[in-house]
A and B are shown apart, each in its own frame.
Chain A
Amino acid sequence: MTAAVHGAGGIAAAAFTLPALGFALAPVFHETSFNWQPVGPPVDFPSDTYVTKVITIVSGIGEAGKSIAYIRARNPAIDKEPEDQYNRFIALSSRCMHLGCPVRYVEAAQRFICPCHGGVYDFRGLVAGGPPVRPLDRFYTRMNNGLVEVGPRYSVNSELRRFSPRDPGEPLDGIGQYLYPARISTPAPPPGG
């Protein structure tokens, strides 16, 4: 009798606790999608400087869902990472890899500078100084109907090897890639990306 009453109480409590918990935790396990966004014809993007484009990361929430991509054409003289269909245009995210503040491109210095804690990145987005733990994130780019399109975000380590997108502050060199595993929630890379 006692066991039955306790068991029934436990089941009743679990009946509202577990769905509520699952409800709150669901976004961690839910893969989000990302749409390719046209940003302009290829002639818009020189290979010696960056063009600033506003892209939508999350739709439906206005300004809060927008982000900045710094885009230029690939320059084989300085871009040594292997070329494929997704990096004929280099699109860097403005998200600082220290803690996520927005970096700005300073033309005169050919550097990306973060206003929050002094992170500095060179022309390719590699860390040139300050606290950032890895180079600037990038977006997949492709040509479609004569326009350059920007796709999902990806993260890179200091050799510009691609990883699924990680949050800022998570190094990807050495042990970092194991300490900060890939998440389920991030959009899948394009085929072959």
Chain B
Amino acid sequence: MPRLKLPPPPLPKVLLPKPKRPGQDNGAALNPVEAGITVVDWIDERTALSPAIRWTLFRKVPRGINWAYTLGSATLFAFLNQAVTGVFLAMYYRPDPAGGAYESVRYINDSVFLGKLVHGMHKWGASVMIILIFLHMGRVFFYGAYKYPRELTWVIGVVLLILTLAMGFTGYLLPFDQRSYWATIVGVNINGTGPFIGPFLSDFLRAGPEFGATTLSRFYSIHMLLIPGAMAALIGIHLYLVTKLGITAPPWLRAQTEKDTAVEAEILRSEV
């Protein structure tokens, strides 16, 4: 017997399966739907994941939410787009400063099937992600959603913003054309103007006092392994906090009085 108790999917009535008539299909033969449920049940019995999934996906949201509340998810999808296209770009990219990097990017654009599209999605997706982050940040700020108890969610979001900008900085070098090279020289030198540690930070970024043989591979490693790993972990914590604390109602909604709650409870009771 299936123990899984997920709410029914929000399908229109015509698409919902008809309830069985008495006596019809009494379970003698295993139908495909039942088989699927059995498999899911088998996994759930061993992992007990269904409460976690229910907790994550089927949660209460306040009244009055609008499309601006989807900007966080939009940013998440922009991140996933960057992750997926980036992984596949890495199949063709070669971090070789002696001309190989530039040639490999040119090969991706000119010769690989859909290469221009995947590269373009990664390049323009980066800008889209930055724009979405700032829109999301603006929504959170102007709705006052950063306030107690959601300060930590905000702080992690700011760290994610900084990491995303670092992704932009390290990714900019990788095509290794004139623009990439000189922009990176300028960027590293801006880092170097920080007093006392600046010069050493520049040395760390360049792997030496000059733009050298391992600078490009260093940027590549930071761009595709170090920062994405940190970002994925922080996005996980960010989403956990969003789920744990719930989302805020829009600020123009008046607070619920005890009377409202009583009326609502009465309506719920009558529906049940």
Binding site for B on A (CB under 8 A): 24-25, 27-28, 30, 32, 57-58, 60-65, 99-102, 116, 165-170, 179-181, 183, 185-187
Contacts and interface: CB of A to CB of B under 8 A. Distances in A.
A27 B207 CA distance: 5
A100 B212 contact: no
Contacts, number: 90
B21 to A, nearest CB: 61
B182 interface: yes
A180 B204 contact: no
A100 B185 contact: yes
A100 B181 CA distance: 11
A28 B192 contact: no
A32 B209 contact: yes
B189 A32 contact: no
Interface of B: 97-99, 176, 181-182, 185-186, 188-190, 192-193, 195-196, 198-200, 202-204, 206-214
Given A58-B213, A61-B212, A64-B211, A167 B195 contact: no
Given A25-B204, A183-B209, A170 B97 contact: no
Contacts of B99: 62-63
B185 A58 contact: no
A24 B226 CA distance: 12
B203 A185 contact: yes
A99 B187 CA distance: 8
A24 B200 CA distance: 13
Contacts of B192: 167-170, 180
Contact of A24 (B98, B204, B208, B212): B204
A24 B206 CA distance: 11
Contacts of B186: 99-101, 116
Given A62-B98, A100-B185, A100-B186, A183 B210 contact: no
Contacts of A183: 199-200, 203, 209
Contacts of B193: 169-170
Given A64-B181, A180-B198, A180-B199, A99 B209 contact: no
A104 to B, nearest CB: 14
Contacts of B207: 27
Nearest to B195: A179
A65 B214 CA distance: 11
Contacts of B206: 27
A179 B194 CA distance: 9
A25 B208 CA distance: 10
Contacts of A64: 97-98, 176, 181, 211
10 contacts: A27-B206, A32-B210, A58-B212, A61-B97, A61-B213, A65-B97, A99-B190, A169-B192, A170-B192, A187-B209
Contact of A101 (B176, B185, B209, B213): B185
A49 to B, nearest CB: 26
Contacts of A60: 98, 213
Contacts of A62: 97-99
B148 to A, nearest CB: 34
Return the 4 tightest CB-CB contacts between A and B, nearest first.
A62-B98, A167-B192, A27-B207, A179-B195
Nearest to B176: A64
A35 to B, nearest CB: 13
Nearest to A64: B97
A32 B181 contact: no
Contacts of B198: 167, 170, 180
A24 B201 CA distance: 12
Contacts of B196: 179-181
A160 B186 CA distance: 24
Most buried by A among B203, B204, B211: B203
Nearest to A164: B209
Contact of B211 (A58, A179, A185): A58
B208 A32 contact: yes
Nearest to B184: A100
A27 B202 CA distance: 11
A44 B46 CA distance: 82
A186 B209 contact: yes
Contacts of B182: 101-102, 116
